[in-house]
Amino acid sequence: MFQAVSARLAQTLLVLLIVSAASFAFLKLAPGDPVSIMLGSDYSQASYDKLTHELGLDQPIVLQYGRWLADFVRGDWGTSYITNQDIFELAVLQALPVTLTLAALSLLIALVVGIPTGVLAALYRNSWIDVLATTLAIGGNAFPSFYLGIILIWLFGVDLGWFPVLGFVAPWEDFWQGLWHLVLPAVTLGAWYVGLIARITRSSLLEVLGQPYILAAKARGEPGWRVVWVHGMRNVLMPLVTVIGLQLGGMLRGAVMTEVVFALPGLGMMVTTAVLNREYIVVQAGIMLTGLLFVAVNLAVDQTYQFLDPRLRRR
Amino acid sequence: MDCAVALTPQAADMPASPPPLLEVRDFSLRRGQAVVLDGVNLALHPGETLGLIGESGAGKSTLALALIGLLRAPEVQLQGSLRFRGTELTQLREADYRRLRGNKIGLIFQDATAALNPCFTVGEQIAEPLKRHLGLSKWDRRDRAAALMQSVGIPEPRLRLDAYPHELSGGMQQRVMIAVALACNPELLLADEPTSALDVTIQAQIMELILDRVRALNSSAVFVLHDLALGAQVCDRIAVMYAGQIVEEGPSDRVLAAPLHPYTRGLKSCVVELGSRMLEPIPGQVPPLNAMPAGCRFAPRCPKAKAICSEQRPLAEIHDGRQVACWFID
Amino acid sequence: MSEAMNIAPLARGSQWKQRFLQPLLRQRSAMAGLAILAIYVVAAVCAPWLATHDPTAQDLMAALQGPSAAHWLGTDSYGQDLYSRLLYGAQLALIIGFASVALGLVVGVAIGLAAGLMGGRTEWVLMRIVDGLLAFPELILAMAFMAVLGLGTENVVYALALSFVGPFARMTRGDVLQVKNQPYIEAARLMGVGTAAVIWRHVLPNVVSPILVQAGMRISIAILLESGLSFLGIGVVPPTPDWGLMIAEGRAFITMAPWISGVPGVALAILLVALNLLGDGLRDAFDPTTQKDA
């Protein structure tokens, strides 16, 4: 057991190292010379060399990486040239919570809609419900979220005026107002996930319902709803979590688009703005943070497996 | 601590001829065009054990599933009658049938590994019918589940309650399955090849255990088996099935000693006995369900078949205390 | 597309038919996807003849017009003809989609082959690079590459291709490792067949179909990412007729001229649905590891 955990730990550390190296490499590859950018248009060679030395840019690349990593771990991520804001504060304390809230709410919507749809489609296989669910699943999965967001803003924001169109109110400051502002973005992002969750629920449940233990549960006198929702769905959770974890990339892709469409100050908005402003140090922070998020979610999914499937637990 | 013996109707006041616990009359089951069970007649009295014997595909397991109500319309079409304790099962509402399943009728599956839900502890699975049918409280369920595990020979039941099925051996899993089926002291136990997925070394143990428990609870049991000799050894009566029909049914000793139907004889001669005469396989194969012969379904393979056999179906006749479906009973 | 197909050394027609065409033909939804894709391809190829206007010709007098005889699908805020832009947009989307996947596939397969066949330190280093690529979501990766490379159509292709290298490399390496230890590869080597010939004749045919399935499914992601990048303003630059740009432009006029974003938006959605149907069909037909519900 100890061996398995330490192997896993070593592997995670290696990936973290690779993530940080890639983020560091990005800044080195980015066009423009940070020293001349910081000095402005008018400077002497002497002041250029001085700043280069102060920033440690004349040192070997490995040392530079080490220093950068140490700064990063300490939370010293630099300052934005444009807003003069501390980047750690901007990325971790301001943008990250917005993206996480949006993602969590979308996932919740997707689960609440997707699972029952998938179950109905499995139970009434080849009926109109199944056809409808499958169509919605494929459509929702393919529909570009940025265009869906625009349509939702038009219909429910502008035309009907039910929801606020743009902007973000933190739910941890004003819960209901915050939720209100997040409804349309979360539906936009969730629509993409609904189809996926409905599809995987349907196919996994169909497989599970064919298993002898389902027949055995019925033979014990368990009512139909319990057979499906307890005995069946308990075994569907594994593939469901797998897919949710695997599709995190898609989730983040949608989150970036959704944030930009709805002007939410999340990670996606931050990175997009930074790319447009050529503020590579902020882009780098965004890259590093999404990389870390990826690693963290993968670890979490692994842990969830052990929790969900007793066969994977160590005795 | 042992389970209380259930009071079955016949124990209280026994009339001269007790009504059968289970009565199957002209029972047929069709799946689309295929007639899977055809005109089955059976009676099982309280405390009796019956063996359903036949090759795979003979419809034995289908009959067991139909008895516990897991094969019903609209999935399949039923005809004829299934009476359990005087209740007509084929007409029973699903909610009422559910009250019988796992309560008055228990079912032991062939492969316990597949029939136990991998995501729930064995304690939870044994306790489920206790909650559903007996309405026991959480702590009573735990006590009762542990007692049941003890009664089926699982050592240290208190520790095993929270084990998951994969943590137990195949034999232990089958013992759990038996405990689940017997949890509510059923009056009728159905056992579908309860030992064929197990190692040979523990098959006899498990069979013995089931018989012990059935006798202790004074229940009746239907065993689905493919081994004629085992069936005759274990059961009071045996019914030999072929292609969805019962070809011979009667007291075990007499059926085994002097089989009347040619198919039963064929089955008997298939039993390998060391040092005895040569193995005689039955020639040919079971006809497919969608191409059954009009007359006797065994006719194409029967050594004694005459013209009438392939034209008209032989009706079961009572002969020497057993029912035999053959035109040429000698 | 031709680049992707040339990887397959399945020159003989009958074999190709048997392995790829027949299983696909059995699936109705995949065929529907293929039919829709075919319409898009025809529209893209024939865009110069089908278009009624120059897709980048501005006519501010005719701006923000609804569908009419002069402008079949209306005009945008610069008076550009939406119908013509739609056709050229299809061309751009398909070219970027196919080209980026093909490029990513070639590079990824090469890395995967090199890693799988050479082993040792080369493999370790290559696979750590691949790990680095796979540690980020595609869009973030593509955005980072766009930041490094700068805007423009060509750079979109490179950025997307680079973000696809990881999955192809990992898949190829896995397949190669599986095939490498098969007895018939050993036998071919013992018989003195050169390494290149072994790869070409024995390794590639075995890894080609899962990789092509993957490629098919990636194309829809590529087109989605491409239009997404352009929508964000970090992809193709105006006035290039690009659906993502068109949707971004129409966003400001959604209440008064919904057709500006609607025309490219619906076109994009239909194309993505078609590609997804086709991709699912490909996967079901060739990937034995995915379970099918009967």
Query: Nearest-CA neighbor of A16 among A298, A311, A313?
Result: A298
With CB atoms and an 8 Å threshold, state whether C220 touches A142: yes
- Starting at the earlier edge strand, list the strands of the sheet with B77-84: B34-44, B22-31, B77-84, B87-88
What secondary structure letter does DSSP report for A32?
S
Q: What is the pLDDT of residue A40?
A: 73
Per DSSP bridges, beta strands B188-192 and B220-225 are parallel
Collapsing DSSP to helix, strand or coil, B96 comes out as helix
In terms of pLDDT, which residue wins out, B29 or B288? B29
> pLDDT per residue over C163-220, tens digit each?
999 999 998 888 888 877 778 777 887 887 777 777 777 777 777 878 888 888 889 9
Predicted confidence (pLDDT) at residue B2 exceeds the cutoff of 50 = no
> How does the average pLDDT of chain C come out, rounded?
83
Predicted confidence (pLDDT) at residue A209 exceeds the cutoff of 80 = yes
- B22 strand-pairing partners: B44, B84
Q: Chain A residues with CB inside 8 Å of C258's CB? A: 154
Average pLDDT over every residue of C240-251: 90
* Assigned token pair, C45: 């190829």
Query: Nearest-CA neighbor of B187 among B19, B1, B57, B17?
Result: B19
Q: For the CA atoms of B21, B25, B30, B34, what is the dihedral angle to 10 degrees?
A: 120
With CB atoms and an 8 Å threshold, state whether C265 touches A290: no
Predicted confidence (pLDDT) at residue B203 exceeds the cutoff of 70 = yes
> How does the average pLDDT of chain B come out, rounded?
85
Domains of chain C are 95-290 (1.10.3720.10)
Question: C227 touching A, CB under 8 A?
Answer: yes
Which residue is associated with the tokens 């739910």?
Answer: A171
Cα(C119)–Cα(C112) distance, rounded to whole angstroms?
10
Cα(A289)–Cα(A295) distance, rounded to whole angstroms?
10
Q: What is the pLDDT of residue B14?
A: 47
Predicted confidence (pLDDT) at residue B10 exceeds the cutoff of 50 = no
- Smallest CA–CA distance, residue A10 to chain C, in Å, is 14
Nearest to C148 among A30, A142, A144 (CB): A30
Do residues A150 and C254 touch, judged by C-beta distance below 8 A?
A: yes
Q: What is the pLDDT of residue C292?
A: 38
- A79 strand-pairing partners: A86
Question: A220 touching B, CB under 8 A?
Answer: yes
Question: A306 touching B, CB under 8 A?
Answer: no
Q: What is the pLDDT of residue C60?
A: 82
Question: A31 touching B, CB under 8 A?
Answer: no
pLDDT above 70 as % of chain B: 91
Confidence of residue B75 (pLDDT cuts 50, 70, 90): confident
In sequence order, the 6+-apart residues with CB closer than 8 A to the CB of A277 are A82
Complex ipTM above 0.90?
A: no
Average pLDDT over every residue of B57-86: 89
Nearest to A310 among B106, B107, B164 (CB): B164
Predicted confidence (pLDDT) at residue A260 exceeds the cutoff of 70 = yes
Cα(C135)–Cα(B201) distance, rounded to whole angstroms?
52
Cα(A93)–Cα(A79) distance, rounded to whole angstroms?
14
What secondary structure letter does DSSP report for C81?
B
> pLDDT per residue over B131-181, tens digit each?
999 999 999 999 999 999 999 989 999 999 999 999 999 889 999 999 999
Collapsing DSSP to helix, strand or coil, C75 comes out as strand
Q: What subunits touch chain A, counting only 3 or more CB pairs under 8 A?
A: B, C
Cα(B322)–Cα(B329) distance, rounded to whole angstroms?
12
With CB atoms and an 8 Å threshold, state whether A22 touches C132: yes
Cα(C61)–Cα(A255) distance, rounded to whole angstroms?
38
With CB atoms and an 8 Å threshold, state whether B118 touches A310: yes
> pLDDT per residue over B12-33, tens digit each?
444 456 788 999 999 999 988 8
Confidence of residue C1 (pLDDT cuts 50, 70, 90): very low
Question: C268 touching A, CB under 8 A?
Answer: yes
Nearest CA in chain A to B117: A213
Average pLDDT over every residue of B250-264: 87
